[in-house]
Amino acid sequence: MKVTFLGTGTSQGVPVIGCDCLVCSSLDFRDKRTRSAIHLEIDGKSLVVDTGPDFRIQMLREKINKLDAVLFTHEHKDHTAGLDDIRPYNFSQKKDMPIFGSRKVLNQIKREYSYIFDEVKYPGVPSVVPNEITNNPFSVEEIIVTPIEVMHYRLPVFGFRFQDFTYITDAKHIERKEIEKIKGSKVLVLNALQKSHHISHLTLNEAIQLTEIIQPKVAYFTHVSHKLGTHQEIEKDLPAHIRLAYDGLKIYID
């Protein structure tokens, strides 16, 4: 399995418009964060988790010319706003794009992209096949995916486990029974927004503490805001088995 971090930033991205803080002014490429998403290559299949506002530029940057399916963690715009840009894959692959999400996610997509679902479609609009998922394992292109339900304040959000890799973003609290579904993962990706308290996201210390409970071989933190600090500053103080992810980072899992 190959995992590419398409984006590792929070909803505003980094740098933030109009901000001249140390992080937003940094020249380190690792401090340039587009909205959070990942690409997975598993057994020759190409999957994306979330299509945020930066989806097009992320796919161009990584030269991803084939896409078999899209999975959505939740319905917030920083995770869905790029869906229209699946069109080139529709055209080149000559097929509808399977999308997977909870009922709430699919209903919101149907509202916000109503033109995709019109009975008489405007020429050239995206073409999708919605697949509703619940908190039970499901199959995407013969790949078994295990959802992990986490709470983003009061909003249920899905993380996903693919074999020995688990990806979780926009979490503040995870029930014990859901944590048990993560244990045994070799690689864990977890959100770590900032150092100070936040109502709907894990802080850096909370993410570290949760990682110690789950005990993966290695963890990567994502969904990072400019309030966390520079990549260089934060990573030097992290435990040896925890790393700060950055846009374009690629990891390989046996």
- Give the C-alpha distances (Å, rounded to integers) separating 142 from 21, 47, 133, 136: 46, 12, 15, 15
Looking at residue 18, what is its pLDDT?
98
pLDDT for res 60: 98
Burial class (CB in 10 A: 0-12, 13-18, 19+), 177: exposed
Assign 41 a pLDDT band (cuts: 50, 70, 90).
very high
Average pLDDT in the chain: 97
Q: Flag whether pLDDT at 167 surpasses 90.
A: yes
Sorted by sequence, the CB contacts under 8 Å of residue 25 that are 6+ apart come out as: 15
Q: How far is the C-alpha of 200 from the C-alpha of 203, rounded, in Å?
A: 9
- Residue 227 main-chain phi, psi, to 5 deg: -80, -15
pTM equals 0.97
Which bin fits 13, alpha (ψ -120 to 50), beta or left (φ > 0)?
left
H helices, E strands: number in the chain: 7, 14
Are the beta carbons of 170 and 187 closer than 8 angstroms?
no
Buried b (16+ CB within 10 A) or exposed e, 86-109: beebbeeeeeebbbbbbeebbebb
Which residue type is seen at 139?
Answer: S
Q: What is the pLDDT of residues 64-96, one digit of tens each?
A: 999 999 999 999 999 999 999 999 999 999 999
Res 70: pLDDT? 98
| 161-164-170 Cα angle (round to 5) | 35
Q: What is the C-alpha to C-alpha distance for residues 229 and 226, in angstroms, rounded to an integer?
A: 6
Residues 5 and 40: their CA atoms lie apart, in Å, by: 9
pLDDT digits (tens, 9 = 90+) for 106-121: 999 999 999 999 998 8
DSSP letter string, 154-212? TEEEEEEEETTEEE--S-SB--HHHHHHHTT-SEEEEE---SS--SSS--HHHHHHHHH
How confident is the model over 172-187, as a mean pLDDT? 98
Q: Which amino acid is at 90?
A: N
For residue 170, count CB atoms less than 10 angstroms from its CB and return exposed for 0-12, middle for 13-18, buried for 19 or more: buried
